[in-house]
Structures are given as C-alpha cells and as structure tokens.
Amino acid sequence: MQPGEMIPTRHAYGEELVALGGDLPNLVVLEADISKSTQTYRFARAFPERFFQMGVAEANMMLVAAGLATTGKIPFVSTYAVFGTMRACEQVRTFIAHTHLNVKIACSHGGVTPGNDGVTHQATEDLGIMRTIPGMTVIMPADYHATRRLVRAAAYYSGPVYLRFTRDPVPVIYTDADEFVIGKGKVVQAGEDVSLVAIGDFVAVALEARTLLAQRGLSAEVLDIHTLKPLDRDLIVASARKTRRVVTLEDHQIQGGLGSAVAEVLGEECPTPMRRIGLRDTFAESGEYRLLLRKYGMDAEATVAAVMELMK
C-alpha cells in the first residue's frame, strides 16, 4: 500500500493476523459472529483449528479468552468496539486485566465510523473506558502500515492490550519501512506554531488541517499518538514547549480519551493553551461518516478554527 491510497485499518488487522498465525502457533482468534466485518475470516480460512466462533456472546467470549491465556495461548478477541468494551466491560476488567492475562482485545468500528448504523454501533467512549482499567495498554493505529506493525507488536507484548480499528477507509500515511514502538508516538510532520496531537484516523484529519493552516502562513506540528496508554509524555511535552499551543484530535468523546490524557500531562508538566477536537458530551446521530465529522466539529476545518482561537 502506497501513501495516499485508501483502506480501512481493520483490513490490515485481518492480513497481519494471518501472517502472525504462521509465526506463532499458540496464537488463537475468537470472534463474535461478525468475522467479515472485523476481517478475522481471513485467519479462519488459514487456520480453522485455531479460530473460535463464539456467537453474539461477548462477555462469555472474554472469559473463554482469559481461560485460553492461562494455558499459554495468545488470544486475539474481535468484535465491534462498542460491544467489546461495554457489553463485556466487567469480564475485561476483572478476569483479564486484574490478573494481567495476555489477551489482545482487537475491535473494529471505533468512533463514529459506523455512520448510518447509529449510536448502537458507534463506540465513542471506549478509549476512555479501557484507558482507566489498570494495566491495560490502549492502541489505535493511524493507517494500514501502522496497523500491521502495531498488531504484530501487540502479539509479542506481554499483558492485555486493547486495539481499535476503523470501519471506513483511511489514507495511507506511512510506508512499509516505518517502525512503530508501543508507547512511543511519532512526529509525522514538524512545525513551529501549534501542535496537532492526534490518534488513529484523525492523524489524517490533522494532516489535512496542517495543509489548510499553511495557506494561512502557520506551521503545524503533527504528532501520531498511536498508543494512548502508556502515553508518550516526553514527546507531547517537548512539542508543547516548542509550539506553545496544542490541539488534540480524536474520534471519541473529548472526556476520557486523548484530549483528557494530554491535558493531564500538560497540567502536570507544561501548562499550555489547548483545544480539544472530538464529540462534546453528545451522542452522534446516524449519517455518512464525513458528514458526521462536519456536523460535530471534528473535521479539518473545525481544527483550523480551533487553532485560530489559540492564535489570538
């Protein structure tokens, strides 16, 4: 995949699972009856003896994954983000995280990307929920290459991990040569006037906003914080000290997610004027994804407006 091409990150997840299946004979996949949507059907075809179709029973699926982890397996558990983090929250917290089991919870359809499926399928609180669970690592890759690298890293990472993917296609930003380390963000583009700190598919939104800001004579630094927890505090503080202004971007409620995490860091280490792009204590309605971003002030134009407020 080349920069500029469009592909959902869930497709990269499905492809990397198959590659990992050949490398790790103890890797197993559990699915909640939506393998075409989550792309785990690819693993099912390649390794049917290591694929478990659990049906629409997410809480039980997490318990089975916990049991498999105690036997030395590496379970990847897949469903929609809204179900994996809410319907099964108690099981994730008490039976996976509390015992620090090596379970990877890999969920698709994060944020408002389910679009027309509406609020029942839009996970806009999941990052905040998972971030507050002790010992849980939380990751959302920005594009195809980041997804493949970070899924592989998660498979070799000890302990519970939450991975969040998109339903809709997102632009390819990186190349196959780019490296990713869990807990270490990336400077996608350097800048001097403002730091655009983004997670997941909103890295592309930040890059679009950067182009618009350049037309106004402003230089924006774009950070990809693919790991929400553990957060790369050093990178965020260094960027904030350089630009003196911060805008966070996420497909999530502004409470509890990236915006909150960055505000906590800056409040403790480097007080900086900032704005947060995301849902503002509201549920999104049904609709086409890009139109929803515009309606709720989560697109590149809204980001530019937030930056201009900080420039006053």
Residues assigned a catalytic role: 58
- Specify the residue for token string 């890999």: 106
230 cis-preceded (ω within 30 degrees of 0): yes
Whole-number Å distance between alpha carbons of 38 and 49: 19
Q: Which pair of structure tokens corresponds to residue 145?
A: 């290459």
Whole-number Å distance between alpha carbons of 77 and 22: 18
| Contact between 8 and 169 (Cβ < 8 Å) | yes
Whole-number Å distance between alpha carbons of 85 and 302: 29
Whole-number Å distance between alpha carbons of 145 and 115: 24
